[in-house]
């Protein structure tokens, strides 16, 4: 009784044992063993005289396996068959899909000479297997047969009996897609220190969006408030980060001039001007003399008398025909042009 044991790798994989008796000659014994192996799931066999070729299929497709044998007399010698190889194409999955237009390449190398076939994916896996089989079978010195998703490649004619190696490659083909033009945007970078009652402004699409500074607001607070106003009251989109505001559209930015929250300047008749109110840091106080304008920027915590003195100094230094002096918080101006 002759026995052949086949074991594929993997936990829980059973050992397959087939046995046969010599009925007449060794060829008959080989044929009997082949018939039993073919009836075993995961394996297939072909008999050629006293040579038994065994390979894997189905659940064992593509796996290596070990072979042990026992015989009462004579021997079974295992030889690696490299003149025949099987290419197993696995069904696509969501992680590794077969995409229309991909190009599959198989390279067969015999005695250092490489021959290559490349087949595009035209439909599904079945069509790809058929096209690769036809392409390989059309190469001189090779033949190919398919069984499901398995392509059996062997040498013939000038390559008959020669060993060969295989390599594979898949090229993913991506179609060019034109991206849509990005929307126009305007970026504003705020600078300075917001002052209470100061109005900050962004103009988008010809419409003003104002924010009046309240106590304890930072520059980032003001910019965020402007962006919110644009989003809430217009079809434009705005976003802020720190002291930067981005508007998806053409925009302009500004801080309309205000003195202590006042509106337009009021004309004063006479030769004296009383500086009143409370000086706010970074405000500008201006005196318009008709033919010339003179102003100073208020610094931190200055008395009104200092503002008046600063204006007088500017007027006198201008040499415009006016003489200025100070009396407490009062600025006295004399027109020498009369």
Does 224 fall in a domain?
yes
Does 260 fall in a domain?
no
- Which range is least confidently modeled, 49-63, 106-120, 218-232, 307-321? 49-63
Residues 110 and 65 in one domain: no
Residues 29 and 89 in one domain: no
Residues 10 and 47 in one domain: yes
Residues 158 and 107 in one domain: yes
Q: What range defines the domain where residue 230 resides?
A: 186-254
Residues 71 and 93 in one domain: no
Question: What is the C-alpha separation between 331 and 142, in angstroms, rounded?
Answer: 109
Sheet holding 15-20, edge to edge: 15-20, 2-7, 66-70
Does 178 fall in a domain?
no
What average pLDDT score do residues 119-124 get?
A: 86
Residue 301, classed as helix, strand or coil, is coil
Whether residue 258 has pLDDT greater than 50: no
Whether residue 23 has pLDDT greater than 60: no
Does 326 fall in a domain?
yes
Residues 95 and 51 in one domain: no
Whether residue 187 has pLDDT greater than 70: yes
Q: Answer with the one of 224, 254, 284 that is the final residue of a domain.
A: 254
Does 242 fall in a domain?
yes
Residues in a beta bridge with 168: 106
Q: Answer with the one of 29, 51, 79 that is the final residue of a domain.
A: 79
Question: What is the C-alpha separation between 212 and 197, in angstroms, rounded?
Answer: 6
Does 287 fall in a domain?
yes
Whether residue 20 has pLDDT greater than 80: no
Average model confidence (pLDDT) across the chain: 76
Residues 12 and 38 in one domain: yes
The number of folded domains in the chain is 4
Residue 123, classed as helix, strand or coil, is coil
Residues 110 and 71 in one domain: no
Using pLDDT thresholds of 50, 70 and 90, give the confidence band for residue 26.
confident
Q: Which one, of 115, 108, 119, 113, lies nearest residue 154 by Cα? A: 108
What average pLDDT score do residues 136-146 get?
A: 90
Does 276 fall in a domain?
yes
Alpha helices (H) in 6-81, listed in sequence order: 26-38
Q: Where is mean pLDDT largest: 188-192, 278-282, 309-313?
A: 309-313
Q: Encode burial over 119-150: b for 16+ CB neighbours within 10 A, e otherwise.
A: bebeeeeeebbebbbebbeebebbbbebeebb
Whether residue 291 has pLDDT greater than 90: no
Q: Answer with the one of 228, 254, 280 that is the final residue of a domain.
A: 254
Q: Which one, of 186, 160, 198, lies nearest residue 83 by Cα? A: 160
pLDDT in tens, 146-182: 888 888 888 888 888 777 888 877 776 666 666 666 5
Q: Which one, of 104, 105, 9, lies nearest residue 56 by Cα? A: 9
């Amino acid at each position: 009784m002759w026995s052949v044991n086949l074991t594929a790798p993997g936990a829980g994989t059973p050992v397959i044992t087939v046995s046969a008796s010599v009925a007449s000659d060794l060829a008959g014994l080989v044929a009997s063993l082949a018939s039993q192996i073919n009836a075993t799931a995961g394996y297939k066999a072909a008999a050629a005289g006293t040579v038994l070729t065994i390979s894997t299929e189905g659940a064992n497709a593509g796996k290596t396996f070990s072979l042990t044998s026992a015989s009462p007399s004579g021997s079974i010698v295992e030889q690696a068959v490299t003149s025949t190889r099987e290419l197993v194409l696995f069904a696509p999955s969501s992680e590794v899909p077969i995409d229309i237009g991909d190009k599959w390449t198989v390279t067969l190398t015999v005695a250092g000479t490489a021959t290559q076939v490349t087949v595009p994916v035209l439909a599904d896996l079945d069509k790809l297997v058929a096209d690769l089989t036809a392409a390989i079978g059309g190469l001189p010195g090779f033949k190919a047969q398919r069984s499901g998703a398995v392509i059996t490649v062997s040498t013939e004619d000038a390559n008959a009996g020669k060993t060969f190696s295989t390599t594979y490659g898949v090229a993913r083909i991506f179609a060019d897609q034109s991206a849509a033009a990005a929307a126009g945007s305007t970026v504003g970078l705020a600078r300075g220190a917001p002052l209470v009652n100061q109005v900050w402004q962004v103009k988008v699409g010809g419409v003003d969006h104002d924010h009046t500074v309240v106590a304890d607001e930072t520059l980032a607070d003001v910019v965020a408030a402007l962006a919110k106003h644009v989003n809430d009251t217009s079809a434009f989109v705005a976003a802020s980060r720190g002291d930067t505001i981005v508007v998806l559209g053409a925009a302009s930015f500004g801080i309309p001039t205000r003195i202590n929250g006042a509106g337009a300047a009021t004309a004063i008749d006479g030769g004296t001007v009383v500086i009143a109110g409370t000086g706010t840091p970074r405000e500008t106080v201006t005196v318009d003399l008709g033919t010339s304008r003179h102003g100073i920027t208020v610094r931190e915590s200055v008395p009104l008398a200092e503002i008046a003195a600063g204006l007088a100094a500017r007027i006198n230094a201008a040499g415009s025909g006016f003489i200025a002096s100070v009396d407490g918080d009062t600025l006295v101006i004399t027109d020498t042009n009369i």
